[in-house]
Every structure is written in C-alpha cells, then in structure tokens.
Amino acid sequence: MPNDDDLGPRRQSDNERHAPSTSSAHAEEKKPPSSSRSSEERPPDSALTSAGAEPLFRLLEAAAREPAGPVPPIHVETDEGDEQEAPSLRERRFELDQMAHNQIAGGKGGLDGPDADERRTHIRVPSEFLPSEESEEEASVYDLAEEDKIALIKDDFGQLDSEGQPEKLVAETDSGIISGGALILGVLRLTSYRVAFHASLPPAVTRKSAIDTVLHAGALKVGRRRNLLRPRTAWCELTPDMLTTYPNSTEEGRVRPLRSDKLSSIEAVNSPKSREPNVFSIVFRTHGGHFTAYFEVGTEEGALAWVREIRSALLLFRHRQKLHVEPGQSPDLKLSIPLSRIRSIDSQSREPLAYILTLDLIQDHTNTTIPEPIIHRVQQTTKRKHDLEEANIIIQFGLVGEEDSFPEELKQAWRTRCQQTYGLEQIVLRGSGFDEEEVEETMKTNAKGDPNTIHALRRRFGVIEGDVFYQHCIRRSKMWPSYGLIVITDHFLCFWSRSVFSKDIQLRFPLHNVENAHVEKSQGPGWYGLVITVTGHDELHFEFRKMAWRDNFLWRLQEATETARRQTRVEQIQQEETDAVEPSPLARIQPGADKYEHAFAPSAISRLPKPINMPETLRYTIRPRHFVCLSIGSRGDVQPYIALAKGLIKEGHSVTIVTHEEYKEWIENWGVQHRTAGGDAAALMKLSVEHRMFSPQFFKETLTKFREWLDELLIQSWEGCKDADVLIESPSAMGGIHIAEALEIPYFRAFTMPWTRTKQYPHAFLNPPLEISGPMNYYTYVLFDNIFWKATSRQINRWRKTYLDLNATDVRGLAQTKVPFLYNFSPSVVPKPLDWDESVIITGYWFLDDADPDWEPTEDLSSFLKSAKEDGKPLVYIGFGSIVVPDPAAMTSSIVKAVQKADVRAILSEGWAARLIESKSTEAAVPLPPEIYKVDKIPHDWLFPRIDVAVHHGGAGTTGASLRSGIPTLIKPWFGDQFFWASRVQKLGAGLRINSLKSDALAEALVKATTDRVMKEKASQVGEKIRAEHGVDRAIDAIYTYLPRAAHDRTKLSKHTKVLNPENDHEHPAQTVVNEAAG
C-alpha cells in the first residue's frame, strides 16, 4: 500500500511567517522522522533553577500522555476591566471590529503569494464553519496590522512596555492547549514583553439543549469493582451536564433512568490500562466520600472514545457553570504570560507532527487566578523534612507544524527580556466562564420534606441543585397501580415507586415536554385524580389521597412548566444574540483551513484530542484510499452508497460502487465510478416477490435457476474489487468478506437492516407474524446464517480456490460477528441493542438529497397541494414502488374507496405491476376522482415534508424518508425486510402496519394517522431526531476509527486485544510517531 503523509505544514502567522515555506515538490524528500529537544533555563544571575519537568501533554497525542489524575475545574478571571478602559482603547477595538466587518462585506484582501500553501492548518475544518467559500477574498479581516494587534493585546491584558521601549510583535502561530483530552485551538503570539494566547470558546447551551442533547451513548458494563464477575450491562448517555444509565436504548427505557450523576460529581476519569484496554474508570464524589465505578466497553477504540468525550464534556460543563458572558458578547479565552515570569523553556520537535512548548513559570503567591486545566502543578519536595512543598507551574502549548522557528524566537526574546527586567509582571488569564472555585452544588433550604428522601431523589434523578418538591400518590396504569412519589424539580417531572416484590419504577420527563395537566374523577372513592399529558407519550394518570395534595401539586407543576418554557425562550434569544457576535480578531482561525488535508496514521485517530471550540463535524483525516462498495438489490439498496461515496470523495478518497449494470448511468452522474456485478436486479426482485425473500422456496428456486447467477456475481465481484484499499459490502452480496481476506485489506459491512445477532430484534428476513423476544430473536440470526451458508458454501468455496487462491472455509472461520458493521438507519428508529459490540455502529441514514435533480413539480401538482391545504383536508401519499401485484385494477379501486371514506386528499404513485409480469385483470383502468392526483414518479424528499401521512411498502429508504419528514407512516409490507420496518414503525408509535388494503381497513388507518395526537407527536419527535443526525459524517468517523480493527485477523480478536498498534498500520514510519510517544 502507498505511504501516508501524517501531517502537513501548519498555518503560519498573518504578517511575516517565521518558518521557511516547504513546497509540495519537495514533499517526497522529507527526512526520516527525528526527535530533537532543546531546553533553555533562566540565566544564572536570576538565582532560579529549572524544574526540568517532562511535558504532560502532547498536541495530537493527548491520549498517549493524558494525566491520570482528576480533571480540575477551569478558572479564568472575569474581564471586569472593560468598564474602566480608556476611551481610546475601547474606540480602537470598535474601529477594528467595524473595519473587519466592512472588509468582509466588501470582499477585500487575499491569501496570494509564494507561501500561500503554508498558511493552512493541518486539521480539516468544514467549509460551513469558515466565513465563506471565497475565503481568499476575505482574509484581510485576519490580516490586522502589527500595531493593531499590539493595541488589542494591551487592551486585553494591560500595558507592560516602558517609555522608549515599545512592545513589538515578534511572532505568531496556530497553537492549542490540551486539557484532559480536549483541545482548545487558538493563536499564540510572542511580543517583546509577553506570550499571549487567544481562543474563542463555545457559548453556553440552553437548558433544553443540556437535557436533550446526547454527546455520546453506548452500551457499557458497569461495576463498582474491577473484578466484579457479573457487572450490569446498561445503556449510558452523556449529556452536557449529566451521565445517565438506562435499562436499554428504547424510548420507553430512556424515561426510566437507573442512575443519574451530574458531571459536577465526577472527580477523575481514568484512561484504560494496557492489560485491559477496553476498561476505564470514573471516580465520583458523594456525601459519604468517593467511590470508583468501572466501565467495560466492547472495544479499545470505544473505551478511548468514552474517556475523551467525558473529559471534554467536563471541561465545557465547568466552563458553563461560571459563565459570565452577557448576551451579545463572545466567550473568548485570553492568556498573557510575561516573559519575566518564565523560569525555563523546553521545546521538543517530533517531525513532522508538532512542537511541544513547555513553560515552567515562576509562581506568584499573590496571584490565585491560574486555572488547573490550563496549567499543571508539579509538586517538588525539599530534602528537609519540615520544609513546605512548592508546586512548580507548568503550561504547555502544542505548535502546529514543522520547522517552526517560534520556540527559538521565544527563547531569544526571553533571554533579552530577562537581562532588562528586575521585577515580575503578573500573569493574566481572562475570559468568560472560568472561576477558581470547585463547582459546589448546594441544596436550597426550600426543598421541603424528609432529608433522606430528598437525598435519595437527588441521587436517582440527577438533581443536585435547585428545588425538589414531592407528594405521595398512586400511578394508574393498564396493568396495576403503583404507590410512590411524584416529584417536581427545576428541570424534570419524576415518579418513583419502590416495591419489595418487583423492580423499582422510575420515570423522568423534561418539564418542557409537559403539555398540560388537569383534574379528573378518581376511579375509587376517597381519591382525587390528576391527568398529565407529556409530548409523545400516553396520558399519565395519578391519584392523591387528599384534594389539597392534588391541587397543591397541580399548581406547582403548572408554575414549574411555565417557568421552564419562559426560561427556554429567554435562553434561545440570548444564544441567538451571542451566536451573531464575531469572535475577537485575535482569536479567529485562519480562513482556508479546509483547503489542505494531511494524513494521520489510522491507529492514531482514536487517541487524538477532541477540539472543543470547533464544529462537531471537524474530522482528522487519513491518507487517500480507494474505497470499493459492493452491493446488489433494488435502487434503495444502492442509493445510500452514493451518499457515502460523495462524503468520501469530499475527504479526498476515490470510490467505486460495484453493483448492477442498470444503475451505471445514475451512479456515474454523481461523479462516482461504477463497475458491473450482480446480473439483473429485476429478476432478483421478481423472485423475492413471488417467494418470500430467503424463504425455503426462495432458496429452492435460487439453487435450481440461479446457480449461474451466483457464479457470475462472485466472479464479477472479484474483478470489480481487485484494486480496493478498503472494501465496504452489503452482506447480501456474499463475496466481499472473502475478497477482503484474499487482498488482506480492511473490510466493513454496511446494510439498511439489522444483520448482527441480537436478542432484541428478529432477523429482518425472518420476521415472524407474532412478536417474539429474547433468545428466540437471537436464534433467527443463527438459523439464517446457517441456511444462507449451507445454500451457497459449495459454490463460494469453489470460487475461493479457483479465483482467490484461498482454502475452503466455514461459518466459524469467517468470524462474521467480529466484522465492523455500519448500519445506515437511525438509532431513533432501531435503538442499538445492549448486546451489540461498539464496532457495530448505527450511523443514521445516508440520505441522498435531490436524487432526481432534473425533476420539477408540475403546475397541476402544485395546485392540487394548495387546494387541499385551503380546504383543510389532510394530504396523504400512497405508493408501493414497483411492487408486482396480481390484480392492479382491484387494488387501485380499493384505494380510491378508502381515500373517499377517510375524507382525505391523496397523491397516488401507481407503480405496481410495472415489472416483469402481466396483469391478470381484464378490467379497464380505474377512473380516479378529483380527490386523488396520480403521479408516475416523485422525489420523496420533496413531497413528504409537504404532506400529512405517507402510505408505502416499507422499503428501508422510503421508510427513512417518511420518518425524516416527521409524518405518520403506514406500511403495507410485501416481502423481505419490509415486514421488519412495518413492525418497527408500529412499535415506535409513529405509524401503523397495514395487513390488508381493503377499503375499510385502509380508511380506518388513514383516519387514525390523521387524527391521533400521540401518533403525530411521536412521528414529529422521530423526525426531529433524524434530521439532527449526520449519517454520512458519522459513518466516515467510524471508518477512520475502526480501520485498524477492520484490517486485523478476526479469528484472533478478543475484547482485550490491542489493535491500536503502529505495527497494524503498515504505513510509513512517520505514521507511527504518535503511538511511539504513547509507549
């Protein structure tokens, strides 16, 4: 395989760059990676010695050198000096901001010149985060004059220069501070008096976002001791302020928290140990002291991801806890270190990664504003027993790039300054959202009730601060009543019932989801009823022993929900004002950062820090590769691969889709290469309709009529995949796993339906008519795998020997359960089971928007839609693709009657009977009434957002499109996975499965879908979640993360196998530097 280029040059400063530019023509003449280190101490006349502390962090090597101890809170002094600033400085800042705004509007400036290529950062930044696509014309906003930058630095930190010796800008570079696995990107500047760092921090999230936003989620085994034999497997979710465990990942399970811990109770997050690379631990603070919880993840990559995400969330949580940003202000981090306060300077270069610049600072005992995450205190014990320990202050910057002269220029400026100064200027750290205090949570005095009960409620529901009000009541349900406590907190409505004979019942709903509450007549004498309506859930019925208790609770609930809604509206307005504010000119990242991408070793991806002040879609990249996607089936099976291919091409890779010939023109119109395999897709669909897909009759027909088709498929697949660097296959194509073995390349599977063994769902092709659970679901996968292999093994093994030069194999030798799997559907539709490994990723849908770019709506169609809206009639879509039916006329007639009975308006896509068989009906075409508008073809992504209900066959892509639009979905399944999707939609409550298209049954379903409040709300919630997902981006992230595992010998993989080793990359030695440092 070709060699990677780990990292390219960093972006240089805005004015005069201090590193010599390296042209692309000499890129191949790089010297082997070397390690150099230079250390400079304060001159002897200072009477101070260097601490000689080793660096604790390495930029882009965070996981390798992360501190094992706690992640303390960040503190930055609030910039209260703005009120006393000299008018000239304030006016100057306004003038510079206005000049920047005018330059953007006018499109002035540029990035032309011989060193233009050197002006780029090595991290991919999505184009939507940058000012605009024409960044070369807008760069002048960042090219402030030197005197303007000095003026802003003085404005921020105060004046250090003296008369006759003005402060001058010496150098500047992109840099970053790593704090607990998180990366704060910014700009580091050197002047003749100080080192200044500026970074723009993310604004605070709203209360609603803090509750609804899930930063990371997955199934974890949780135990209080490392050697616990049977830890509990639970679904864990990390939100911006809480870590919560649930019994499972379903919507029903996610309102039943098992335990909730505020991030403020986390003392430390410990990285996995080498002997157990998939286990990490968290130290929690409690009223009784501390305890350590151990979390086991399915893979090493998954454990590292959890540690990185929790530490990043901690950093941002503590930032928000003391946020002092007024609406309309930008939260910037500003640090000034006078050169006179530096005891020693240490710099390390690990070409071509980065320079690590370590500053050992002279401690100022009068200055208490230096935060622990920004610096690191190294305890130095003296020889004398009674001497006090002194903590040396260490701060580190990672300089992005190679051949950077910044360290040498810093040392020279520092030596010069030390010879001139006789005093110590103060270190200044300003910015919003930092405070020196530990996040101390307090219990308000107006929390009424038994203190032990209050404490138990806080612990179970994650309520640390704010009011807690509870009342005894009975909750009525369909099965039996439950006696317990109904609770109101600042953010949640909760219910807790304890039972000796069964599991505790815990319910928690965000207050902003509570729609209304009203009294009702009780079912028994002496009790007083209350009904609470929660968005997307059935009504909750409670009964109280006293009327005063009920009325008091109702009043408090109404007051709490109104306060929550009002606070949410206020926070949204404030956030909009803050988002509209431009960051400080000194904190802005250079434009054009997305124009040049530079490669990392695949094994380093999981160990890289998470940039907390960059968009979520920011991604570290790898060397360009040739991805080959192998798939057979309908258009819906191929279309997601086009969306994935577009994303990979944008990353700089080349992509080829190997599939049926009839899709060639369509695929190539999207700029994706196509190769032929799979024969006739129509014949495969006809066989699937006539005989339920992969049923015994299906295999019988296949074995008798399609042996030649399978031989042709295998041979063409091999020819189409020979030059692949990475192979991604739909498992229905059958040959990919063997081809990857022959080529010794990374292999992923991807599919539109569940294919991995689980106890939660049956196999999509063996979906029984009655709902089953537990082991029976798991056995459907075992049965299918064995039948599938038994039917094809003879031909496959013959093909392996003849074409692939491989020995025969069996199901166990394939180790299919250890293949990294990408599922391109939404976790909101198919929640991830607890028994799926971390390498099985539900990415979200891979939507291909504007799949038919030449399509335009007719005037008649637009008029029909407008007329239905004006008449107040629900609009429904009815279409079943190209499904083959025996009597199309009878089916159309039944649909017409149902539409008229339901009193709706319908858009009918009458595509049935379009393929391969002739209609058995001799009747003429059914005339359509004015309530129905017929179309031949219509893009779902255009139509579904404009209608109220969708009725279709339940294909994976069509189901995803209708659910994405947030409308109720009615499915009449015909074959294959359509039965699975119909059951999932009904289980979600976002639609119904229709077993018959008779007019009465269809009309009843249409009426329910257009009138049922809960169904419409649940469909809307599912649509909102799907629209917030980025399936293709998530898939590419997963590919980069699990590339080493996908290339590993699966027969030797276990949960404790370390796959993130440099030896597994088979790359140029430069690609292994990150991991060598980890050793």
- pLDDT score recorded for residue 838: 92
| Domain end (from 277, 299, 321) | 321
Task: Compute the average pLDDT of residues 223-241.
Answer: 80
Place of tokens 């320990």: 389
Percent of the chain with pLDDT over 90: 39
Query: E strands within 561-615?
Result: 599-600, 610-611
* Two structure tokens written together for 748: 């992923």
Query: Residue 149: which CATH number?
Result: 2.30.29.30
Overall average pLDDT of the 78-104 stretch: 42
Which residue in 81, 96, 75 sits closest to 157, CA to CA?
81
pLDDT of residue 881: 76
Of the three residues 396, 431, 466, the one that is the final residue of a domain is 431
760 in any annotated domain: yes
pLDDT in tens, 586-614: 666 554 443 334 577 888 888 877 888 87
Residue 161 exposure: Cα atoms within 13 Å on the Cβ side: 14
| pLDDT tens profile 285-331 | 877 788 899 999 999 999 999 999 999 898 888 776 655 444 445 56
pLDDT at 934: 92
**What value does the mean pLDDT take over residues 367-377?**
50
Q: Is residue 312 situated within a structural domain?
A: yes
Cα distance between residue 371 and residue 318, in whole Å:
11
Largest CA distance in the chain: 107
Residues 121, 213, single domain; the answer is no
Phi then psi dihedrals of residue 191, to 5 deg: -115, 180
Is residue 901, in this structure, part of any structural domain at all?
A: yes
Rounded to 10 degrees, the C-alpha dihedral 375/379/382/385 comes to 140
- Domain end, chosen from 298, 321, 344, is at 321
User: How many domains does the chain contain in total?
Assistant: 5
Q: Is residue 1024 domain-shared with residue 1036, that is, in the same domain?
A: no
Do 135 and 75 reside in the same domain of the chain? Answer: yes
Confidence band (pLDDT; 50, 70, 90) for 923? low
* Mean pLDDT of the residues in the chain: 76
Q: Which among 755, 756, 760, 735 is positioned nearest to 747, based on CA atoms?
A: 735
Answer whether residue 1076 is part of any domain.
no
285: which residues sit within 8 A by CB, 6+ positions away?
265, 266, 267
Q: Residue 914: what pLDDT?
A: 46
Q: Which two tokens stand for residue 72?
A: 């303390």
- More confidently predicted of 520 and 681: 520
Evaluate if residue 168 carries a pLDDT over 60. Answer: yes
Q: How far apart are CA 12 and CA 19, in angstroms?
A: 8
pLDDT digits (tens, 9 = 90+) for 404-455: 688 888 999 988 887 776 566 777 776 544 433 333 343 333 445 677 777 7
Closest CA to 989 of 825, 829, 766: 829
CATH of the domain at 659: 3.40.50.2000
pLDDT tens, residue by residue, 749-776: 999 999 999 999 999 888 777 777 788 9
How do beta strands 182-191 and 610-611 pair?
parallel
The answer on 382 and 497 residing in a single domain is no
Which of residues 579 and 1025 earns the better pLDDT score? 1025
Position 269 scores a pLDDT of: 92
Say which residue the tokens 């393929």 belong to: 915
Structural domain boundaries enclosing 949: 859-1028
Least confident of 162-171, 190-199, 822-831: 162-171
Same domain, 723 and 769: yes
Rounded to an integer, what distance in angstroms lies between the CA atom of residue 320 and that of residue 262? 13
Q: What are phi and psi of 267, to 5 degrees?
A: -90, -40
| Residue 747 located in a structural domain | yes
Same structural domain for residues 257 and 342? no
Nearest residue to 100 (alpha-carbon basis) of 589, 593, 582, 576: 582
197 and 228 in a common domain: no
Distance CA 1065, CA 603 (A): 7
Residues 302, 339: one domain? no
* 585 contacts 137 by C-beta, under 8 angstroms: no
Same domain, 339 and 423: yes
- 902 within some domain: yes
Q: Are 324 and 353 in contact (CB under 8 A)?
A: no
The verdict on 536 and 502 lying in the same domain is: yes
**82 domain-assigned:** yes
- What pLDDT sits at residue 526? 86
In the predicted model, is pLDDT for residue 644 greater than 80?
A: yes
> Is 554 within a domain?
yes
pTM of the model: 0.81
Residues 835 and 924 in one domain: no
Q: What are phi and psi of 368, to 5 degrees?
A: -110, 20
Question: What are the tens digits of pLDDT across the range 27-70?
Answer: 333 333 334 445 555 444 333 222 222 322 333 333 333 333 33
Nearest to 3 by CA among 403, 601, 596, 595: 601
The residues, ordered by sequence, that sit 6+ positions from 1056 with a Cβ below 8 Å of its Cβ are 275, 276, 277, 278
Question: Do 636 and 767 belong together in one domain?
Answer: yes
Most confidently modeled range among 14-18, 348-352, 499-503, 949-953: 949-953
Greater confidence (96 vs 636) lies with 636
